[in-house]
Amino acid sequence: MTFRQTIKSSIVHSSHPKSIALADLNNDEQIDIVVANPGTNTIGVFLAFDNETFASQQTYSTGISSQPQSVLLNHFNHDQYLDIAVANYGTNSIGVFFARANETFQNQISISTKAFRPWFLVADDFNKDNYTDLIVLFPGTDNVGIFMGKENGLFEDLELYSTGYDSHPYSLTLGDLNRDSYVDIVVVTNGTNNVEIFYNDGSGGFQNGILYSTMRNSNATSVAVGDLNNDQYLDIIVANYNHQNIGIFLNLRNGTFTQQMVHKLAKNSFPQCVTVGYFDRNNDLDVVVVDSLNSQIHILLGYGNGSLSASIVYDSISKSNPLFIAVYDFDRDNRSDLVVANSDGNNILMLNGFSSESSARQTTYLIDESARPSSLVVYDFNRDNQLDIVVNNFGGNSMVIFYGTDAGSFVQGDSYSTGENSSPRQITTGDFNNDNRMDILIACPGSGNVGVFLGQENGTFAPMIPYWIGNGSNPWFVTTHDLNNDTYVDLVVSNKGVKTITIWFGLGNGSFTNMTTYSTGNHSIPKAIAIG
């Protein structure tokens, strides 16, 4: 099996991304990404440029030791912008970030979950009062909780529903299982090895759970719903980690389900997360599974009758520990694409262009024999509707652009000098002179400066404008953001050699103010930056 790895966005060292939500946050008809980063106690927002390239991460604090585990997007306060909710496991709270009109979010409003530690959350309008409600999973106390929405975007007091003694509920999803126009809850419990269904009573309350076994010691870790047999009713799919399989419960259309039908995965596979999508351009729903232990993705193609193909394995994400996967057709080719949260890789990975062929053509593009590339950016720099790549040439003291073609290949363009012994390391983008053309910022630790390349109309770049930090500064990481809300892009640099960060405020014309430097403290060795 092959995918095209379109985007691999680094988040920040030790961020350990855990959960992903997808939606159009700024109403530009492009799908943006929000990530929960428990390692750094933040959420990260990646705004899309064109559904395949994204701006640098904007981060927002969820609080000290909050350990956010799950994130979602919905309209809570009834304006035209989507808001963010996050489950803060470490601080026993739900965090809500209301959207502003300028593509940013307000600081977190914290809602206590009392003695209960939230692990996973989903949202919908359960009682049809036009206010968004939340369902929260509490594995440590064996229950799920409901926060009914209020007009101001906040919530009523927590209501609890037990999933049974020692059940340890681990994952949940929503769907109208009995087609009564009310959303029901499906939970998997890996303590008692069950699927548990809570049917909506129509008033926002839920009936007692109905249990279906996933078999002893199955250790179910994830659940999804989808119509696998094309009968217009939602079926249930479960990832059984210990049994190395997925379980399918077909809807009998009378409020009940079949007993579990087991579908084995490849040998020694350990499914962590399961969801559904359309990967092979027919109208039959397929299943995708993440194997976190082996850093693999499994696609099981649906036949439209409730059965699935043998798993097709994608294993080009070695040792990244993928924990969560989200599905959307980013490139609008009528095939689902994937966004994967790689916890140990501290990145998110976009995969599109699915092919079930056992092998695929691999094309290698030589930069320089001594290039040692470590960073790249992807964007349509020459506006021909094809994505281009700019990569650092560490050994050759330059950056190189490869222009995309409509055949899916790349043609090497110009090489741009970053200066003698500059050793360019890390690249990012931003429009520094407000001409609607993307510019480049590059860190050059060897020469103690950062370089700005202003984009030209034809997709080329003007010679580098250096901004010197100092001898031995060793600038290591660069990012861009409008720090002072003047609509101009500013530069932020971490200086590993002198234990500082440096800021240049943009003037909107491609130039910047004098630099301002802040110490990060003795022994800090700053290597990465997050802004939020």
Secondary structure of 256-313 in the HEC alphabet?
CECCCEEEECCCCCCEEEEEEECCCCCCCCEEEEEECCCCEEEEECECCCCCECCCEE
Asked if 18 contacts 70 with a C-beta cutoff of 8 angstroms, the reply is: yes
Q: What is the mean pLDDT of residues 24-51?
A: 87
> Which is nearest to 223 in space by CA: 235, 206, 209?
235
Domains defined along the chain, listed by start: 12-281 (2.120.10.30), 376-519 (2.130.10.10)
Tokens of 3: 């995918």
State the pLDDT confidence band at 162, using cuts at 50, 70 and 90. Answer: very high
Residue pLDDT, tens place only, 331-341: 777 888 888 87
Q: What is the mean pLDDT of residues 237-250?
A: 96
User: Is 222 strand, coil or helix?
Assistant: strand
> Which is nearest to 440 in space by CA: 384, 476, 412, 401?
401
Query: Residue 524's pLDDT is what?
Result: 77
User: d(Cα 131, Cα 154) in Å, to the nearest integer?
Assistant: 9
Tokens of 437: 């053309």
198: pLDDT strictly greater than 80:
yes
User: d(Cα 207, Cα 198) in Å, to the nearest integer?
Assistant: 6
User: d(Cα 397, Cα 375) in Å, to the nearest integer?
Assistant: 13
> Which is nearest to 385 in space by CA: 365, 405, 411?
405
SS3 content of the chain, % helix, strand, coil (to 5): 0, 45, 55
Rg (CA), the chain: 24
Q: What is the mean pLDDT of residues 65-75?
A: 95
Burial of 420 per CB tally in 10 Å (0-12, 13-18, 19+): exposed
State the pLDDT confidence band at 395, using cuts at 50, 70 and 90. Answer: confident
User: d(Cα 147, Cα 417) in Å, to the nearest integer?
Assistant: 57
Q: What is the mean pLDDT of residues 348-353?
A: 74
Asked if 136 contacts 145 with a C-beta cutoff of 8 angstroms, the reply is: yes
The percentage of the chain sitting over the pLDDT mark of 90, rounded to a whole number, equals 60
User: Is 7 strand, coil or helix?
Assistant: strand
Range ranked top by mean pLDDT from 233-237, 281-285, 442-446 = 233-237
In this prediction the pTM is 0.65
Query: Residue 328's pLDDT is what?
Result: 83
**Could you tell me the end-to-end alpha-carbon distance of the chain, in angstroms, rounded to an integer?**
38
Tokens of 319: 């040792």
Instruction: Determine how many CB atoms are found less than 10 A away from the CB of residue 511.
Output: 14
User: d(Cα 91, Cα 61) in Å, to the nearest integer?
Assistant: 13
47: pLDDT strictly greater than 70:
yes
State the pLDDT confidence band at 362, using cuts at 50, 70 and 90. Answer: very low
Identity at 195, one-letter amino acid code: V
Beta bridge partners of 61: 42
Residue pLDDT, tens place only, 260-317: 999 999 888 999 999 999 988 788 999 999 998 888 889 999 999 999 998 888 876 6
Burial of 304 per CB tally in 10 Å (0-12, 13-18, 19+): middle
The label of the residue with tokens 């009936």 reads: 207
Instruction: Determine how many CB atoms are found less than 10 A away from the CB of residue 267.
Output: 6
Beta carbons within 8 Å of 126's beta carbon, 6+ residues apart: 133, 135, 146, 148, 182, 183, 200, 204
User: Is 31 strand, coil or helix?
Assistant: coil
- Residues present in the chain in total: 532
144 φ, ψ (degrees, to nearest 5): -115, 150
User: d(Cα 186, Cα 234) in Å, to the nearest integer?
Assistant: 11
Query: Residue 7's pLDDT is what?
Result: 47
State the pLDDT confidence band at 57, using cuts at 50, 70 and 90. Answer: confident
Query: Residue 155's pLDDT is what?
Result: 94
> Secondary structure of 480-507 in the HEC alphabet?
EECCCCCCCCEEEEEECCCCEEEEECEC
161-165, 237-241, 468-472, 527-531, range with the lowest pLDDT: 527-531
Alpha-carbon 516 to chain mean position: 32
User: d(Cα 167, Cα 57) in Å, to the nearest integer?
Assistant: 37
> Which is nearest to 29 in space by CA: 330, 279, 325?
330
Asked if 95 contacts 88 with a C-beta cutoff of 8 angstroms, the reply is: yes
Query: Residue 342's pLDDT is what?
Result: 74
> Secondary structure of 362-430 in the HEC alphabet?
CCCCCCCCCCCCCCEEEECCCCCCCCEEEEEECCCCEEEEEEECCCCCEEEEEEEECCCCCCCCEEEEE
Question: Cα–Cα distances in Å, from 141 out to 144, 172, 210?
Answer: 9, 15, 19
Query: Residue 366's pLDDT is what?
Result: 63
